[in-house]
Amino acid sequence: MSEDELYAHPGWQWCTFEGAKKQLLLQNLQTTFREKLEWLEEAETLSLRLRKSREARSQENTPETL
């Protein structure tokens, strides 16, 4: 792979703010509404699991008072 080909690769371009915006726009254009909903549901599930884990950890670290 030549240096020009390497720098023309989208992976390098997406590492900038503008490149990330373009990559996100391209991804949104290529996904269906259903895929977006599934992604949101998975993100919500992950968020709820992380919150539950944090709460459980904070309860373990809290000394019980009588």
SS (H, E, C) the chain: CCHHHHHHCHHHHCCCHHHHHHHHHHHHHHCCHHHHHHHHHHHHHHHHHHHHHHHHHHHHHCCCCC
> Which whole number is the average pLDDT over 3-21?
80
Query: Higher confidence at residue 59 or residue 15?
Result: 59
> Which whole number is the average pLDDT over 14-20?
83
34-53 per-position pLDDT tens digit: 999 999 999 999 999 999 99
